[in-house]
Amino acid sequence: MKNRLKVLRAERDWTQADLAEALEVSRQTINAIEKGKFDPSLPLAFKAARLFHMPIEEIFDDEYTD
């Protein structure tokens, strides 16, 4: 799944560790999500959306097109 976490994090000058702490996950989890190697759970996606004050769809893209 494509996502904008790395860009959103960089815009705020946050490290992966900073974002991990805010989302209550490990830095390794953030790294895996940013690289597209791990898809976040729905609760984690909602948490990220609240943190960045954005709809989930603006952060995560399921890559399916109509």
63 falls within a domain: no
CA distance 5 to 62: 14
Expressed as residue numbers, the domain containing 42 is: 2-56
Give a yes or no: residue 8 inside a domain: yes
> Rounded to an integer, what distance in angstroms lies between the CA atom of residue 21 and that of residue 30?
10
Question: How far apart are the C-alpha atoms of 56 and 61, rounded to whole Å?
Answer: 9
Does residue 46 belong to any structural domain of this protein? yes
What's the sign of the alpha-carbon dihedral 31, 10, 24, 34?
negative
Domain assignment present for residue 27? The answer is yes
Which of the residues in the chain have pLDDT under 70? 64-66
Q: What is the pLDDT of residue 64?
A: 66
Q: 61 in a domain, yes or no?
A: no
The predicted pLDDT at position 17 comes to 98
Number of domains in the chain: 1
Question: What's the CATH number where 35 sits?
Answer: 1.10.260.40
